[in-house]
Structure 1
Amino acid sequence: MNIINHKLARNPLKLLGAAILVTGVSACDIDLDGDHSPDKPQQKMFEVTLTNLTQSQPFSPPALVLHSQNEMLWHLGEPASVELEMLAEGGNAQPLADLAVINKSHVKDTPVGPAGSVSWTFELEYHSDNTLSLATMLVNTNDAFTGLTGVNIAAFEIGETHEKWVPAYDSGTEYNDESAIPGPAAVTASGFDASRNTDVNRVYMHSGVLTMHELSSSVLSPEHKFDNPVAKIIIKRMQ
């Protein structure tokens, strides 16, 4: 072994450099950290599944949205946005999906019945730091909704699965008379009402509905009652 080769053998970094010079391989083609390999997917793929756990509370067409880590669609103890109110009172998720802070949105076309499930599959850029939110209304209520907001999915590994059991929330924007509701239990459906002077005007944990046997104005039957959790959400990174 000559002196040059002997020194290279004792210094692996110099040996790598020599190999690059000999073979003509560009240094930018060497993947030292695993982030830029041509074989590595440049997008991450996720699957999200929502399941309705209630006996007789259909969910309105749900919205799945992606947004920055600095945003939340609701905070317990704080007033609901008008867009959240429109979802919670009338089941219309599109205003939430159209908010300026939303980077991507996926709104389903149909409700999710009791024991029913619905899934989304979507892709994100590999280095995206988006967080995930999902929201839907319990339509046989005045202003109950469920879902989750601000879930950080950026660090999910391939195959990683998170199962969330989520409660019902009350948007606090409409008095719970159990009659002015948009769901099939209503005699005359009633949706979004911009007035907020009939309830507490803050998002809180829903205490459950009252039936016609407990409240004279109620159009609800015992099967419309619910306890928490009301939904299961599974988030999985596929790729």
Structure 2
Amino acid sequence: MTDIEQDLSHHTAEMARAVHGEASVALTAEAVVDLAVSLISGCDAAGVSLVRKGRVETVASSHSLVTMGDAWQYEQGEGPCLDAMTPHEYLIESPDLVTDDRWPTWAPRVIRELGVRSMLSYRLFTTDSLVGALNLYSLTPEAFTAADHAEGHILASQAAIALATSEKVENLQIAVSRRTTIGQAQGLLMERFDLSPDQAFDVLVRLSRQTNQKLFEIAESVVTTRRLPHTGTALEQRNATAG
């Protein structure tokens, strides 16, 4: 095994331990960004962009230039990050933004205002879905070596799986928490107004429709205040349950 292969093997193990050991999407993304800057020699700053509810957002960045550079891509609808997330793309590379004409609005601005000269953007995806992109910024033209490409590829692969898993866990935790809150609200209504479980749930659904609030928000309000929302007296509360 060559020295380069040994380094890659060691770094792969290090990446796997770091990115799969975090408990949330935010912490996982921060671990990915930290690894990118520390392990990829040409990378001066890094960021992770995720697709959420049809929108792209930067969830972790190592430097303000990443936050600004990414934001301009989203605003202008062009840039390596967005291109990396299009179908059939995996890696978008720009050895020198000065001579790259793919992003005529975005590139001149990041060169002029942020000093960025070269970029690598890796598509983050699993077999099930697109996750986002890992964006590597450099202030030097032609900064990324063949070894950097290999490191980035490994990190992007590990990051995609870890971020997708973290997001599923977070969503499950949120769902369980909200289900518990709704159950607590049902219990309060059942006790106070002598209702069955179905009747108590129907009251919450009716109030959700009347107030144009989500069911969980209504339930949370009931649990927190011990009152039905937008009702002032016990009589009004009873009327709401009876309606």
Shorter-normalised TM range: under 0.3
Structure (1/2) with the larger helix percentage: 2
Give the TM-score of the pair, scaled to structure 2: 0.22
Give the TM-score of the pair, scaled to structure 1: 0.23
Structure (1/2) with the larger strand percentage: 1
- The higher relative CO (CA closer than 8 Å, separation ≥ 6) is in 1
**Larger radius of gyration, structure 1 or 2?**
1
